Structure 1
């Protein structure tokens, strides 16, 4: 019997999948695996009528560097095209502030003699990307930067549109920095901008700001106000974000850290709002601020990349650049955290998407250009965040399952599901709103044991399982046909309060009124979105029948505010019974603010493995911290245990990325070896991530050390 094969014609989507699944790259060693437990159900909502914004063609970037000996390798352009990179940043982080582009040299550092600007542009062009250039604001001059613009856009006609004035110029680690001098940086930036735009007025130039809550509090306000007073404003704002500090990495902490993005971005938008519309570029991000360890080369970092970059884009960032393409091996002896409690198969760290084949302390990376898991995570992200796609509302009822979705230019809906649970598999109960969730659908998968992204096909969309520690893309093809004009509705939402504290309730009441056409068995849907555009609350009433002029019974519900301050948006919808027809979509039915939480009030208990020891004898210190305030929170703070002796000479052990919610406890263990005789005490310090003291806790516990 002849069988006729059915072919789905998905236009550009098919081309995207082919490009992403057919990348010829070396395989990596299989990741660590964990023993999964029985599957549990997670409820996922994807609302194609809740449009968040368009994915720009600047969205997905990667950092490159002049010191990268493999930047010009023949395989690089295809490796970049294969994961959808659209922006390449050059000449490389802090190196930028010591780099002379004319001589291709770095003051006190190294530049590969072949990595000239022209050769870099050759990679950009072959990869089908566009560049973003960081000019030297540390040891360079405005005239030097202007000459670079002249060379790029007048002499060579490269058409370089995006430029940055220095790298992290607020940081004391940068050459020629302006630490604690934001007005000085602002004046310097204005001089650079004026010189560069005198050569090419069409270019866009960004300045260094600080991701709110991660550094000098008044930097952003002073930079912007000073530039405004001088009559020049930046074309875009630059922030960098690394989720953790070295030594305190945890897998659960990293994967939950993306909750901070919505608040950072909302605060940044408010800081910028007085000066018009200034886009945000996140030109560096990764898991740890320096000394990358075991986690950086693991599947966990790939899952973080997907959630991290998607959250920034859904929050409104126009560009997010991963740090970086190649970096190099960092072993334990060089400061890498290789704690076996961190998931992963490599006992070293490397920021790069690709290995550079380096070795140190008898440990070697795979051959150069071997993808690390983050490369495949990037590939999974790019299949969803396609330039021109519309980001749409999505969320789940489980914090360990992150959901991001877009409506692709050809009408297909692409859903990315990230399972952050190391042991629990989840079966997806998909609620599709504003589109038909019908198979067959295409899938892409990357997770434990994967050597590459695996394409597949799914006939039943109610039969999706998310394995532990995995990311799954489901590309649901558009259903052709014309949707006839249907009923229309108005809606009204009232709130109990315009501002609500974390852990407190917001009461919402929404009424819908039918203004045209009858509806039988319709669905009323009220949704709450956080500042990152994530669906975080939902109330649905189904089986509702309307006649024209009729109003619904009020939908009243209580929603408990999370510890993610910022502006929240209420959206209201009316759908047909099957969810495919959209009768009403109010993208801003109401807004309210979740305020900053109350300061933490933390108690601490200390236990010692011994109370009297001789000099040189290790002592185990176990400290349990508990948040006791009913509405107090510690976010991304520092819990520091001190061992104090001889007039405040001290040793310390800290958890540098601690988060505590009301009633939550965390226990830290530290092995301390006293080197002098005397009596030791063990107070604790509670600090913000910027080392502002929140609490000091003195203890009655002492240790006597004898010779």
Structure 2
């Protein structure tokens, strides 16, 4: 695998076997969990101001009823607990995925058994559907493409939709079939998987042509570069295309977790999604489903059970949805305890209370090495993070433009079906509180506003009321939802202005300047004291640049003075969109809204300028024997290349990846070298390679260096 994400589900699966929003506020669950506080208690320093813009006229898309999902599994002994449906309803879950990750490719739905694994005898498909119906959700089913057959999958469709009339609409052909850890082993054989997928689709749709079927693709930049292209082109040549594309994304690999790194990793989503859309564009409109995501690819540590992971969940899932994904499924409902002895990272520098990891939204009450979780179905912080997200991402709501001038404060916003505007503000700073200067555009606020809060010391999501939108404080490490009732603004019928935006270049390199010039022309009636607004949005639909000119008066036919500004491109490649607006002076009336005034591309970074050498303490060892890896990075460019970047050493075995984030703030000047060491313990026999990844601090890949150094591991 390549950097910036993990898909080592063989390890993850081993761990697994161990174990309505009616008006303006989401219903709150009565279940509480002990407060999760940092082991290293900190005190907030003096507040500073963050400028936040929310533009209800910048519509990004409608939140689909498939948006918010959770993974479930046949091995989960608490899946059928009586409390589960209400717990799921309480956080707004609309999709439940079954039968559970890698287990799917060894699961026989007819006998409720797993080849070489475990299925709870009570977790039959029919009983799972009982949970789905009680929770008011809909299922997404992963059929067995590993040890199963097309006829077996077709029989499942027959049973679900013909015999029992469940109306199961969404189906997947296998789980992560690009991985060597999956039964059936299509790793390095994308054309083979494509042909198999076509056979499954044809058999299943012969039973029910109305169903939608997805196939496994790889999140760009996290795996084989040719998998997606080969799968899509092969299926196209056979006359069958998927109804949706499936990707999974885990932000980190175990051992290299940092809280700041996790919370900034969401910067990658815009580039991944932009690239994926380009890959799919040749084949028409194919929606994207992200059917697994979490903070770390396997062996979850204390970060997974901390508030930090709840903040990550909110930003992660919201970013995928705003960038166009139709579904995002968190991994998972219940999972199980993972202690340090089992590979969990319990580094005290990681924020959190628990010295163990667990992927679950809810505890399953398991114990290991003398450590026990809270009672089964006790929510972890991610449960409450999910609840905060669901209050914003309500099915039928319109996602709207939002952004802040501080990278540590993430903003997401929607216009709810009842007309209210809901703003989610995430403070990623562990120590600094911020005061929000909220600029509302395209709607008129009607107070008071309602609030939801979850943060340090919280036992549950707390509702509140806010009388002054200009006096919002975000405590450190917290998420705040502000539900703002809105009164209708003046909305003229038809366009009242035209606009024209010109760019200095259609392509700009990271950190380079793009010059934008926008001119507005009044086509209809006089406007006094208007506000001209030009905004830039990244591929994930986030507001990342804005230029405003206020106090402008127009007569019919009059044009504005050009608004010209130099904007410094970020380091996240992809397609950026310029949106242009004319508002009344107070921002409540929209005289013009152009959602696509212009587009331009931020290109990939310059070619490599860093070399690396790798030395191993041994070249042949047995499984379980530690090996010391010594890597020297040298800057070879005539000018400085890496400034506060990331140096990541990888160990790769047949698509299985482990990593060590060696230096999270590396800076190199021309000719300078830095040496890093890592003790790596191989857990499988085979041949390992050791490439390096060079990243910006926001986890944009700058360089990928492949080495000829190999390690042979024997049993």
TM-score after normalising by structure 2: 0.87
User: How big is the shift at 1:30?
Assistant: 8.3
Partner of 2:279: 271
User: How big is the shift at 1:113?
Assistant: 0.4
Contact 1:46/1:394, CA 8 A, preserved across alignment: yes
Contact 1:245/1:656, CA 8 A, preserved across alignment: no
* Cα deviation code 1:146-187 (max 9, x no counterpart): 000000000100000000000000000111120000000000
CA, structure 1 residues 210+688, in 2 after alignment: closer, same or farther (shift >3 Å)? farther
C-alpha distance in 2 between matches for 1:190 and 1:246 = 35
Q: Which deviates more from structure 2 when the two are superposed, residues 539-548 or residues 5-14?
A: 5-14
* Aligned length, in residue pairs: 707
C-alpha distance in 2 between matches for 1:111 and 1:133 = 16
User: How big is the shift at 1:486?
Assistant: 9.3
Match of 1:537 among 545, 557, 561: 545
Partner of 1:564, secondary structure, is: coil
User: How big is the shift at 1:535?
Assistant: 0.3
Partner of 1:16, secondary structure, is: coil
CA, structure 1 residues 259+628, in 2 after alignment: closer, same or farther (shift >3 Å)? farther
CA, structure 1 residues 179+619, in 2 after alignment: closer, same or farther (shift >3 Å)? closer
* Cα deviation code 1:628-671 (max 9, x no counterpart): 86999789998367999999999998569999999999996768
Alignment map for 1:138-153 (pairs within 5 Å): 138-153=146-161
CA, structure 1 residues 338+50, in 2 after alignment: closer, same or farther (shift >3 Å)? same
User: How big is the shift at 1:609?
Assistant: 18
User: How big is the shift at 1:438?
Assistant: 4.0
CA, structure 1 residues 613+261, in 2 after alignment: closer, same or farther (shift >3 Å)? closer
User: How big is the shift at 1:627?
Assistant: 6.8
Contact 1:244/1:656, CA 8 A, preserved across alignment: no
C-alpha distance in 2 between matches for 1:529 and 1:268 = 18
Partner of 2:102: 94
Contact 2:266/2:319, CA 8 A, preserved across alignment: yes
User: How big is the shift at 1:602?
Assistant: 3.7
Q: Which deviates more from structure 2 when the two are superposed, residues 320-329 or residues 10-19?
A: 10-19
CA, structure 1 residues 591+460, in 2 after alignment: closer, same or farther (shift >3 Å)? same
CA, structure 1 residues 101+618, in 2 after alignment: closer, same or farther (shift >3 Å)? closer
C-alpha distance in 1 between matches for 2:19 and 2:683 = 70
Contact 2:255/2:660, CA 8 A, preserved across alignment: no
CA, structure 1 residues 542+625, in 2 after alignment: closer, same or farther (shift >3 Å)? farther
In structure 2, the gaps of 5 or more residues are 1-8
* Cα deviation code 1:405-439 (max 9, x no counterpart): 00001110000000000011100001110012342
User: How big is the shift at 1:518?
Assistant: 1.1
Contact 1:60/1:86, CA 8 A, preserved across alignment: yes
In structure 1, the gaps of 5 or more residues are none
CA, structure 1 residues 647+596, in 2 after alignment: closer, same or farther (shift >3 Å)? closer
CA, structure 1 residues 556+458, in 2 after alignment: closer, same or farther (shift >3 Å)? same
User: How big is the shift at 1:27?
Assistant: 7.0
User: How big is the shift at 1:601?
Assistant: 2.7
User: How big is the shift at 1:461?
Assistant: 0.3
C-alpha distance in 1 between matches for 2:416 and 2:330 = 23
Partner of 1:6: 14
* Cα deviation code 1:85-120 (max 9, x no counterpart): 000000000000000000000000000000000000
CA, structure 1 residues 703+386, in 2 after alignment: closer, same or farther (shift >3 Å)? closer
C-alpha distance in 1 between matches for 2:227 and 2:27 = 43
User: How big is the shift at 1:276?
Assistant: 0.6
Question: Of the two, which has the highest radius of gyration?
Answer: 1
* Cα deviation code 1:505-563 (max 9, x no counterpart): 11000000011111111110000000000000100011111111111110000111111
Contact 2:490/2:588, CA 8 A, preserved across alignment: no
* Cα deviation code 1:182-216 (max 9, x no counterpart): 00000000000000001000000000000000000
C-alpha distance in 2 between matches for 1:208 and 1:702 = 30
User: How big is the shift at 1:483?
Assistant: 4.9
CA, structure 1 residues 69+637, in 2 after alignment: closer, same or farther (shift >3 Å)? farther
1:106 equivalenced with 2:134 (yes/no) = no
Partner of 2:130, secondary structure, is: helix
Superposition CA RMSD, Å: 8.9
Partner of 2:390, secondary structure, is: helix
CA, structure 1 residues 19+30, in 2 after alignment: closer, same or farther (shift >3 Å)? farther
Contact 2:635/2:669, CA 8 A, preserved across alignment: yes
Contact 1:63/1:321, CA 8 A, preserved across alignment: yes
C-alpha distance in 1 between matches for 2:205 and 2:10 = 67
* Cα deviation code 1:18-54 (max 9, x no counterpart): 5136567787778864211110000000000000000
Contact 1:438/1:461, CA 8 A, preserved across alignment: no
Partner of 2:79, secondary structure, is: coil
CA, structure 1 residues 370+679, in 2 after alignment: closer, same or farther (shift >3 Å)? closer
C-alpha distance in 2 between matches for 1:442 and 1:31 = 32
1:442 equivalenced with 2:436 (yes/no) = no
CA, structure 1 residues 36+114, in 2 after alignment: closer, same or farther (shift >3 Å)? same
Contact 1:653/1:670, CA 8 A, preserved across alignment: no
Partner of 1:329, secondary structure, is: coil
Q: Which deviates more from structure 2 when the two are superposed, residues 477-486 or residues 658-667?
A: 658-667
C-alpha distance in 1 between matches for 2:138 and 2:167 = 9
Partner of 1:690: 698
CA, structure 1 residues 352+674, in 2 after alignment: closer, same or farther (shift >3 Å)? closer
Partner of 1:202: 210
Contact 2:685/2:714, CA 8 A, preserved across alignment: yes
CA, structure 1 residues 66+440, in 2 after alignment: closer, same or farther (shift >3 Å)? same
Partner of 1:486, secondary structure, is: coil
Contact 2:411/2:425, CA 8 A, preserved across alignment: yes
Q: Which deviates more from structure 2 when the two are superposed, residues 427-436 or residues 681-690?
A: 681-690
Q: Which deviates more from structure 2 when the two are superposed, residues 310-319 or residues 602-611?
A: 602-611
Contact 2:640/2:670, CA 8 A, preserved across alignment: yes
Contact 1:13/1:410, CA 8 A, preserved across alignment: no
1:360 equivalenced with 2:368 (yes/no) = yes
Q: Which deviates more from structure 2 when the two are superposed, residues 331-340 or residues 2-11?
A: 2-11
Partner of 1:19, secondary structure, is: coil
* Cα deviation code 1:73-96 (max 9, x no counterpart): 000000000000000000000000
Contact 1:487/1:514, CA 8 A, preserved across alignment: no
CA, structure 1 residues 609+343, in 2 after alignment: closer, same or farther (shift >3 Å)? farther
Q: Which deviates more from structure 2 when the two are superposed, residues 23-32 or residues 368-377?
A: 23-32
1:76 equivalenced with 2:84 (yes/no) = yes
CA, structure 1 residues 706+417, in 2 after alignment: closer, same or farther (shift >3 Å)? closer
CA, structure 1 residues 88+199, in 2 after alignment: closer, same or farther (shift >3 Å)? same
Contact 1:354/1:369, CA 8 A, preserved across alignment: yes
Alignment map for 1:209-224 (pairs within 5 Å): 209-224=217-232
C-alpha distance in 2 between matches for 1:645 and 1:192 = 30
C-alpha distance in 2 between matches for 1:6 and 1:431 = 49
Contact 1:21/1:454, CA 8 A, preserved across alignment: no
Partner of 2:487, secondary structure, is: coil
Match of 1:348 among 343, 356, 368: 356
CA, structure 1 residues 478+184, in 2 after alignment: closer, same or farther (shift >3 Å)? same
Contact 2:251/2:296, CA 8 A, preserved across alignment: yes
Contact 2:256/2:659, CA 8 A, preserved across alignment: no
Q: Which deviates more from structure 2 when the two are superposed, residues 538-547 or residues 325-334?
A: 538-547
TM-score after normalising by structure 1: 0.88
Contact 1:517/1:547, CA 8 A, preserved across alignment: yes
